[in-house]
Amino acid sequence: MAPQRARATLAASCAIHFLHDGCSDLLYVLFPVWAREFSLSFTQVGLLRTAYSGALALFQVPAGFLAERWGEPRVLAAGTFLTSVGFFCAGAAVGFVPLLLFLMIGGFGSGTQHPLSSSLVARAYEAGRRRVALGTYNFSGDLGKVTWPAGAALVSAWAGWRWAAQGIGMVVLAASIAIFFLLAPMVGCPASPRQTSAEDRPGDGWGIRNRRGFTLLSAIHGIDNGSRTVFLTYLPFLLLGKGAEMDLTGLALGLTFAGGATGKFVCGFLAERLGIIRTVLVTEAATGLGILLLLALPVTPALFLLPVLGIALNGTSSVLYGTVAELVAPERRSRVYGMFYTIGIGAGALAPPLFGLLSDAAGVPATLSVLAAVIFATLPLTRLLRPSVEGRGIRTTPPARTPG
């Protein structure tokens, strides 16, 4: 793809990511409002989160299959339209059950975003700097997570939550129209299947060129995503146990998120210089060691550590997403990215309750110590991954510098 079109595709994918991730995380602002409005229990609030996230996870693989037939832009436009319907209807909800249904609709729509946008970016940067592009793409999602909740809180305080939800629905609707009319002509729609070499032909139906490599990559991704969710869930409790006030835990999370956003952006560049294997080893080792150091530090030094820990905590994902594209035939990336994201989201959903049982039995510090040990398990898995990525000619060491 021409450089200008590649940059335009990346910009469009970043805007879509910014929008959808923002929609997902602004729900945290609306949950307390809905709990008061509809007299919801904590269990019901949890079910609202599960409705959106669960629907999002379930629709990622089907979205990949649909994209192979209709093209990523059309499916992205349809999914974004579905998300707009979910939020607009949520603004008119009169009780828990309708709200649950409307959030499921919105979640199904957002399920199209991660696999299809990642596939578009990977294809646009087929010739090089794919990890930098995917790191930029991931960074845009973190910006949405910071920006949209703040905007939703301001509108809710000024005009009420119904206006906020329906206003979000209108913005997302406009985005779906823009995706259909602007992105589709830019990247085109799927043509008839091209002739592929024996190496690239997706004989197993999924187009996975190296099953062993993809299995290891998915295992690392599952551990990485699950451990990140567990850490963020129990970090406030660790700080409260150290004597921090509640408002300080909010600052701590903000510092960690800021570091995480930076990590997604920076580690894409780092992988281009150090290579895939070295970068993952560095980020995972730094995450495990950072958690152990955090357990030993008092509150104030811990706050200074959190942004650095956030960089390592989130940085691995940008490297992994780029490697998926290199282990999969181009015409099957949408469906495989869907499966890859589903593995990560599934691990992130299952891990907190399991580690919660351990926290109830042994306490949060012991739980985070075990978490660090689990993170260190990615190090041998990463070393085992080396032959698979080297066998595909994927850069694992820095490129040689040429004169001029």
Q: For residues 331 and 190, what is the distance between their CA atoms, to the nearest angstrom?
A: 9
Greater model confidence, 325 or 196: 325
Could you report the per-residue pLDDT of 4-13, keeping only the tens digit for each? 888 888 899 9
Cβ burial of 247 (10 Å; 0-12, 13-18, 19+) is exposed
pLDDT at 199 over 60: no
Residue-level pLDDT at 318: 72
Q: What dihedral angle (degrees, nearest 10) is formed by the CA atoms of 23, 222, 205, 198?
A: 120
Residue-level pLDDT at 396: 45
Q: For residues 131 and 133, what is the distance between their CA atoms, to the nearest angstrom?
A: 5
Could you report the per-residue pLDDT of 341-363, keeping only the tens digit for each? 888 887 877 787 788 888 888 88
Contact criterion met (CB below 8 Å) for 142 and 262: no
Torsion sign, CA atoms 31, 32, 36, 37: negative
Residue-level pLDDT at 399: 43
Residue-level pLDDT at 128: 67
pLDDT at 311 over 80: yes
Residue-level pLDDT at 324: 82
Could you report the per-residue pLDDT of 33-44, keeping only the tens digit for each? 888 899 988 778
Q: Choose the weakest-confidence range: 150-154, 188-192, 205-209, 215-219.
A: 188-192
Q: For residues 122 and 335, what is the distance between their CA atoms, to the nearest angstrom?
A: 13
Could you report the per-residue pLDDT of 172-182, keeping only the tens digit for each? 999 999 998 88
Could you report the per-residue pLDDT of 57-89, keeping only the tens digit for each? 888 888 888 888 888 889 999 999 999 999 999
Greater model confidence, 20 or 228: 20
pLDDT at 390 over 70: no
Confidence category of residue 391, pLDDT binned at 50, 70, 90 = low
Domains of the chain by range and CATH?
Answer: 3-186 (1.20.1250.20), 211-391 (1.20.1250.20)
Residue-level pLDDT at 187: 66
Q: Which residues contact 62 (CB under 8 A, 6 or more apart)?
A: 111, 338
Confidence category of residue 254, pLDDT binned at 50, 70, 90 = confident
Could you report the per-residue pLDDT of 99-148, keeping only the tens digit for each? 999 999 999 999 999 888 988 888 888 766 776 787 788 888 878 877 78
pTM confidence score: 0.70
